[in-house]
Amino acid sequence: MSSDTVADHYNSVRQEDIVGRADSRIFYMRNLNNWMKSELIQESSSSLLRPRVLDLACGKGGDLRKWKVANIESIVMADVAKVSLHHAEERYKQMLQRERYGLFSAEFVHADCCKENLKSKISSHSEFDLVSCQFALHYSFIDEQSARTFLRNATETLRPGGYLIGTLPDAERIVWSVRENDGEFRNSVCTIRYDNKDELQSPPLFGAKFHFTLDSQVNCPEFLAYFPLVMQ
C-alpha cells in the first residue's frame, strides 16, 4: 500500500452534514477524539505566545476552530489528499468571512509527507513553534524510509524548545485484541483485522498492516506504530 492509497481513500470518503454526524453510532467517539485533540492543543499552546503551527495530515481542517481558540499567529496545513485539503481551505475561507477581527493566516500545501521534503514546499522559511499530527502518523509506518521521512518533515522545521504533538492508535492494544480473537476483533461499531495472522506473535516494526473499519466511515489499510519506536 502506498500513500496514494491513503489519499484515494480520504478523497472518496463521503461528506456528512452535522445532522448525519449526530445520527452516527460513532458520534460520541468523535466527541471524545475532538476533546482529546482540544486538550493537547490547549496544553501545548498555553505556554506559547501566538505560535506558528504546522498541521501535518490536516485532513478537512477539522481542527481549525481549535487553532483559533489557541490564538495562533499562523498555520501551514499539509495533506496528501487534494480533496480533503480543498475542504480545509474552504472551511478556512468561511471562517475568514465570519470573523470580525483578524484570523490567523493559513497556507495549504499538497504534499506526500512520506516521500517529499515538505520544507521545500512551504513559502515561509521560519521555524514552527508547534507541529501537530492527529491520527495519521501510523500510516507512514508502511516501511522504515517512509516513517523516517515523515518524522523528518515533522521535526526539521520545529524550533528548539517547540512542541510536537499527536495521537495514534495503541499498537499494543490492537495486537492484543486481534490475538485474542484469531486475527479479527469486532464489535457493534468497529472491526480490526490483522493482515497476516502468521506474524501476529511477533509483528514487524514496520509494515505491520491491519484493516480498520469504523461504522463504514473509515475502511483503509493502516499500520502499527509502536510508541517506543516513534520516540527513538
Domains of the chain and any CATH numbers: 3-168 (3.40.50.150), 171-228 (no CATH)
Q: Which residues contact 179 (CB under 8 A, 6 or more apart)?
A: 200, 201
Q: Across all residues in the chain, what is the average pLDDT?
A: 89
What's the confidence (pLDDT) of residue 126?
Answer: 87
Binned at pLDDT 50, 70 and 90, residue 49 comes out as: very high
> What are the pLDDT digits (tens) for 53-106?
999 999 999 999 999 999 999 999 999 999 999 999 999 999 999 987 789 999
Instruction: Judge whether residue 3 has pLDDT over 60.
Output: no
What's the confidence (pLDDT) of residue 12?
Answer: 47
Mean local confidence (pLDDT), 34-38? 96
> What are the pLDDT digits (tens) for 106-121?
999 999 999 999 999 9
Question: For residue 175, what are the CA distances in angstroms to 19, 39, 224?
Answer: 35, 27, 9
Residue with cell string 509483528: 203
pTM: 0.87
